[in-house]
Amino acid sequence: MRAFVMKEIGTVGFMEKPVPKPGPNEALVRTTQALICTSDVHTVDGAIGPRTDLTLGHEAVGIVAEAGSEVKRFKPGDRVVVGAITPDWGDPASQAGHPSQSSGALGGWKFANVKDGVFAEFFLVNEADANMAIIPASVPDDKAVYCADMLSTGFAAAEHGTIPLGGTVAVFAEGPVGLMATQGARLCGAGFVIGVESVPQRQQLARHFGADFIVDPSDGDVVGHILRATEGEGVDVAIEALGNETTLAQAIAAAKPGGTISSVGYYGKGDTIGIPRVGWGVGMAEKTIVTTLCPGGRLRLERLLRLLEHRRVDPSALTTHVMPFDRIDDAFEMMRTKSGGIIKPLVQFAPVAIERGEVETKERARTR
């Protein structure tokens, strides 16, 4: 099968790999659609250390090609979305309520980290019964694929911020995760949502996904603008969706005393991250900083799919580019340079051997 890999730090390319064989609890999934993520770019830049010929990608939907002998819930032909994070559910961290941290810090993150990812014609899902979900017939692949990471991560940023009903929220950086955090804040009942973003296209998308007010950081004094927009109070919840020391400092300063800073960014560079002394109320303003890695699990995926199925959410506007798998290298480069107005590139895999059920599903989706 063909795979798109990180050959070494700084180098990507295609290579041939054998189709993997599922173990008893695993499923082999034939990839149909996938999304490129900025964290794939961080990985290639060396953020998690060296890797050799590692298949990239962690956001995908596909068709079950083969299910291991112990897999009970899935069978070949099932159309599924797979979590970007695929925890070890028996691990103590999972049992303590932190499955994304099972088997060590960030240990639920396996695709394109400790095992091959989804940018290949087939990929393996560990603990398949718990880590993927059947896509409802009315939800097309190009929407369901957002459940893998963007909806799960962005919404978790809002959920972990425990936004009070009618509360105020600022979202720092309206990239794909920030945009879904903006949507998540609205779903969680925020009364006023501020988007902090300088790129006009992203400002527009922030409004589309629920921002009431935009602060443009290129105008300077971001915190001052947020304070003025909230009658001097600051926000109940400040969501940092970039992974940048400056925006984190602004988020800390913009949160009101007793407020929450929900950090969901991937801090890909540097050794330390500073906290603004005064903005943090000299350490005594009862501001809470929470951090989040994408939640995984079948139940989570099923809930996100329900939001799509019943049209509470439509992530389609995030898809700015659609490309065949053959051109994933171009899409990856665009994602690296953030050129051409790219938000999320959707990668489509050519049908290898189309099952009848899948064709029908796609046609149904198309005629809706």
Binding site for Zn ion (CB under 5 A): 37, 149
CA distances from 226 to 50, 91, 113, 230 (A): 40, 42, 37, 6
How far from each other are the two terminal CA atoms of the chain, in whole angstroms? 33
- Distance separating alpha carbons of residues 297 and 147, to the nearest angstrom: 11
What is the phi/psi pair of residue 218, to 5°?
-70, -10
Residue nearest to Zn ion (CB): 37
Least Å from the CB of residue 180 to Zn ion: 11
Closer to Zn ion by CB, 22 or 83: give it. 83
Please report how close the Cβ of residue 132 comes to Zn ion at its closest, in angstroms: 16
143 contacts: CB under 8 Å, gap ≥ 6: 308, 314, 315, 316
Q: How far is the CB of 113 from Zn ion (least distance, A)?
A: 11
User: In the bound complex, what is the minimum distance in angstroms from residue 275's beta carbon to Zn ion?
Assistant: 26
CA R_g for the chain: 20
Q: In the complex, what is the shortest distance from the CB of residue 40 to Zn ion, in angstroms, rounded to a whole number?
A: 7
* Nearer of residues 41 and 255 to Zn ion, judged by Cβ: 41
Q: Looking at beta carbons only, is 47 or 275 nearer to Zn ion? A: 47
Nearer Cβ to Zn ion (35/188):
35
CB closer to Zn ion out of 151 and 229: 151
Distance CA 22, CA 127 (A): 10
Query: What kind and span of H or E run contains 305?
Result: helix 298-309
Nearer to Zn ion, 66 or 149 (CB): 149
Complex with Zn ion: residue 37 or 81, whichever CB lies closer: 37
Are 185 and 169 in contact by the 8 Å Cβ rule? The answer is yes
For 59-119, the DSSP string reads: EEEEEEEEE-TT--S--TT-EEEE-SS---TTSHHHHTT-GGGTTSTTTT--BTTTB--SS
State the nearest-atom distance from the C-beta of 215 to Zn ion, in Å: 26
Least CB distance to Zn ion at residue 227 (A):
33
The pair of structure tokens assigned to 48 is 């998690």
SS3 27: strand
